[in-house]
Chains A and B, each alone.
Chain A
Amino acid sequence: MRLAPEKFAEAEEIVSLCSLRAGAELFGIDTREIREVLGTSAPQPVPLAPGYIAGVLPYRGEVLTTVSLRALLGLEERSGANCVLVLEDEELGEQFGLMVDGVGGVVTMMPSELAGNPSTLEARSAALFDGVYKMKTGLMVRLDPQRLRPLELARSGLFGAAKQGRVEQFRTTEMK
């Protein structure tokens, strides 16, 4: 885990963030890390996949695995229009999607305005969040795409594993 304040201590450059919403909170992702914003789209659910995987979407001839930010935050899925951001998994060199309620405008921030995660933050949020920007209108949670990668989420073990189908019955009857 890298620490955000250290990272930006050296380069005092303006960061532009794309603001997005999930539930009541405001989030921001560095625009340089967003490949594309897909308008309203409904991912096809994948049975047996962990709960935070909203499903799959066709994207430029590939199949985009889409993570639901609401599910990660422990919020109920909502019906209605969603937005999917296409992000890059740097480790695997493949893309994945992040489903949010909606995307707002681009805001520019100074790195000095970024504060680390509060120490009282519970483990799941601490694993997801990458610090907080103090805006005039309120707080904006910074998200790091590399922490939201489906594989990274699976590794952390904080968000529930893949579901198990009911196959045990076959095994048990065989042993009888």
Chain B
Amino acid sequence: MEDLTQEFLAESREGLERMELCLTELERRPEDGELVAEIFRAVHTIKGTTGFLGFGRLQALAHAGESLLAALRDGRVAVGGAVISGLLELRDGLQAILEIIETRGSEGERQTDDDQALIAWMAELEAGRGLHPSQDQVPSKSPGQVAERPVAESLATTEKSAQPHPAGSAGTVHEKTLRIDVEVLNRMMNLVGELVLTRNQILQCAPGDGSFPELARRLNGVTTELRDSVMQARMQPVGALFSKFPRVVRDLAQACGRRVRIEFEGQETGLDKSLLEAVRDPLTHAVRNAVDHGIEPVEERVRAGKPVEGVVRLRAFQQNGWVVIEVTDDGAGISTERVLAKAMERGLVTAEQAAAMTEREVLQLLFTAGFSTAKEVTSVSGRGVGMDVVRMNVEQAGGRAELESRVGLGTTVRLRVPLTLAIVPALVVESGGQSFALPQGSLVELAHVTGAEAETAIERIGLAELYRLREGLLPLVRLDRLLGLEQSTSSAGVAGSAGRERGCYIAVLEPEGRRFGLVLDGLRPPEEIVVKPLSAALRELGVYSGATVLGNGTLAMILDVAVIAAQAGVKPINEETRPAMSTAAQAESAGDETAGGIARIAALEMQDSMVVYETARRGEDGVMRGARMAMPLSAVERIATIPVSEIEYADGRALLQYGAELLPLEDEGELLNAMDARPGTPVTALICLQPREHGVRRVAVVVRQVLDVCPGALLAEDAAICDGPLAMIGERVTALHPGFSARAGTMPARVLEGVA
């Protein structure tokens, strides 16, 4: 019986969701009979099942709705604003009862009067009373008392969604159930079968048996496929999240007296189920903000020469291993002057700081707690809770929130979330002889302090250590000291003791607006780590958010950067009297300082656009693997797709005819060898200008595919980590093509050979 109820709840909820979508759609296309039929089916199913399960209240309500819908279907009543408002109201009524059933197991006897009012209203609508064709187009004029409820209710949800979700709160049925394509499930079952067979074979495999490597390979293949299909099963289209917004926008637009249309793009973009739930609240908030603050009132839009109807566009897409969800409105935009004035009034920034801030930094202020630029507090939003909660919620999910705005043209709120919570890109760092994983989400930049520079570069006030990062002073936290892993040699606190001669790395981190530098002993190549939860006893320590198994098989603890900042007493930026940093302007002036021997990174040496591409590289073990690499956009002349048949070979060297020129094809990833030799197969090549000792030359670099073009910054070269240059691109450390690093005076010999 319990199972039946659970199934009924999940099914009904889906039905109601569909109903809501159809209703908002119906408002736009009142003549569409299919939509009415669809809604009818949803309500009818609920009514039928409730009778069977014995939920009387639900049945009575569904019955009233059903007969109104039957009248609509038969054309006895015309579709209009009032009817749609009424049906939406009915939907909410049904939903409310479902929620009671879900929490209590029975429908309870509360709010009986409410039901009666609703049922009476349904009957009235069915009788066609109070309906005039002229009113149909004006949806906001629905019968008095009851029609107030959508607004009141949406207010209640605003309050609710403004609160950050307590971690581990009991999920509703909605969050606990998941629909999976039977195909996917079948494939998983097949793979599990395969896994069992392979295990059996391995168990029977005698020691020293020659077939073992083959079995291990098969096991590897099966595991990878199984992981992928489980991940795929967890992926849900973002569209499931978008579906509730037409209603939200409709109700809000009515409450604010605006005319707003909602548009979607990229609903099919997949996102991990758990993350989908995590972005639900921040996204709702962003949409509410767009309607309430973004889109102007009708008169203002007319005055500005814009279409009367405002547009809120929800767009989702994948980029660089992130899922980006944008909420764009074509409203008034945010005036940076007003934001600054407000920030100064609230004492968040000083006048001097304000003068030096870039537009982007000003807009980021909106994410500060207690900041709201609404001219007046409206009933819908603008109570000072808002964007800071959005940011917090998204950061809790391991993502980031950004804001872009053009006065007069509109605002875009961008939520960037990782593809999955379980697998995150992380930096593997070393401290006190142990390895730790540092999620790249809050990593801003990395700096290397060489052994010789360590004494002068790290300055002290009392016991606190500071590092001069451009114009600002960065408070430092030593990871080994924080974790009690300090070597006895340096424990005296004396500067420049023996243990520090090797130099160190400073990871500049900014979790929740607290900016600090974490001093590390060493870096290892970044890895995509699988996050494993910790036991309660270790969670209590706070500094770890989980553990992971590294590529070499050892366990590493994952550092919780926010807790480390809090434990070390790092204050959020706006509370500190930090000198304003205008990154772009000061980056240039700081560029020369690198002569001091400190290799500084990010934003200063090169804030160039990078072409990120996929190729193959030979690892240390001599095996070719897929790799993500980058090259400055300025060096790329053209991205060309050429049929493999156009590549010519002379003297064992691959050449490409490019206009009148003959270009050497550089294929370090040996992609051409691995490629299908049929003449039509396309090859992607970057036609680049490569700096040489005397002038430049053109070269074609064969890549597997071009992934993205985005801003990136060159990292310090360090032979210990990697034998080539590295760049920080979109929060990920990426290897740079060795022939095109920023100051390419020193060219790798093998590239030069090619043209000798």
Contact = CB atoms under 8 A, between A and B. Distances in A.
B535 A46 contact: no
Contacts of A173: 461-464
A164 B484 contact: yes
A-side interface size class? 35 or more
Given A167-B567, A167-B569, A173-B462, A49 B532 contact: no
A47 B485 contact: yes
Contact of A62 (B432, B481, B532): B532
Interface in B413-468: 432, 434, 461-464
A53 B537 contact: yes
Contacts of A164: 484
Most buried by B among A162, A164, A166: A166
A65 interface: yes
B541 A48 contact: yes
A174 interface: yes
Interface in B523-553: 532-538, 540-541, 543-544, 546-547, 549
B475 interface: yes
A96 B535 contact: yes
Contact of B538 (A46, A89, A176): A46
A49 B535 contact: no
B491 to A, nearest CB: 9
A166 B462 CA distance: 15
Contact of A170 (B475, B538, B540, B546): B475
Given A58-B549, A170-B568, A173-B463, A49 B485 contact: no
Contacts of A171: 569
A46 to B, nearest CB: 6
A176 B567 CA distance: 18
Interface string B482-514: 111110000000000000000000000000000
A165 interface: yes
Interface string A140-160: 000000000011011000000
A61 interface: yes
A123 interface: no
Nearest to A175: B569
B557 interface: yes
B463 to A, nearest CB: 4
A64 to B, nearest CB: 8
B463 A63 contact: no
Interface in A72-96: 89, 92, 94, 96
Contacts of B120: none
B484 A63 contact: no
A115 interface: no
Nearest to B547: A63
Nearest to A55: B555
B134 interface: no
Nearest to A164: B484
Contacts of B484: 47-48, 163-166
Contact of B477 (A65, A92, A94, A170): A170
A32 B546 CA distance: 30
Given A56-B547, A167-B567, A47 B432 contact: yes
A176 B538 CA distance: 33
Nearest to B543: A48
A137 interface: no
Q: Is the interface of A mostly helix, strand, loop or mixed?
A: mixed
A45 interface: yes
B554 interface: yes
B625 to A, nearest CB: 24
Contacts of B534: 56, 63, 65
Contact of A46 (B432, B486, B557, B567): B557
A42 to B, nearest CB: 10
Given A47-B432, A48-B543, A170-B477, A92 B486 contact: no
A58 B535 CA distance: 12
Contact of A44 (B477, B532, B554): B554
A162 B540 contact: yes
A130 to B, nearest CB: 20
Nearest to A66: B535
A166 B549 CA distance: 27
A170 B461 CA distance: 10
B363 to A, nearest CB: 30
A61 B532 contact: yes
Contacts of B477: 167, 170
Contacts of B569: 167, 170-171, 174
A63 B432 CA distance: 22
A172 interface: yes
A152 B477 CA distance: 32
A169 interface: yes
B464 A56 contact: no
A22 B534 CA distance: 26
Contacts of B547: 56, 63
A57 interface: yes
A102 to B, nearest CB: 23
B564 to A, nearest CB: 9
Nearest to A165: B482
Nearest to A152: B537
Contacts of B434: 44-45, 47
A57 B555 contact: yes
Most buried by A among B434, B461, B482: B482
Contacts of B557: 44, 46-47, 56
Given A48-B483, A48-B484, A63-B532, A167 B537 contact: no
Interface string B568-581: 11100000000000
B555 A65 contact: no
B462 A176 contact: yes
A162 B475 CA distance: 26
Most buried by A among B461, B463, B532, B536: B536
10 contacts: A46-B544, A56-B547, A65-B534, A65-B535, A92-B535, A153-B537, A162-B541, A166-B482, A169-B462, A170-B475
Given A48-B543, A56-B547, A165-B567, 15 more contacts: A44-B557, A47-B432, A48-B484, A53-B537, A53-B538, A57-B555, A61-B532, A63-B546, A89-B535, A92-B536, A153-B537, A167-B569, A169-B463, A170-B570, A174-B464
Interface of B: 432, 434, 461-464, 475, 477, 481-486, 532-538, 540-541, 543-544, 546-547, 549, 554-557, 567-570
Which 9 A-B pairs have CB atoms at the shortest separation, nearest pair first? A150-B537, A47-B483, A173-B464, A65-B535, A169-B463, A44-B555, A165-B482, A173-B462, A63-B547
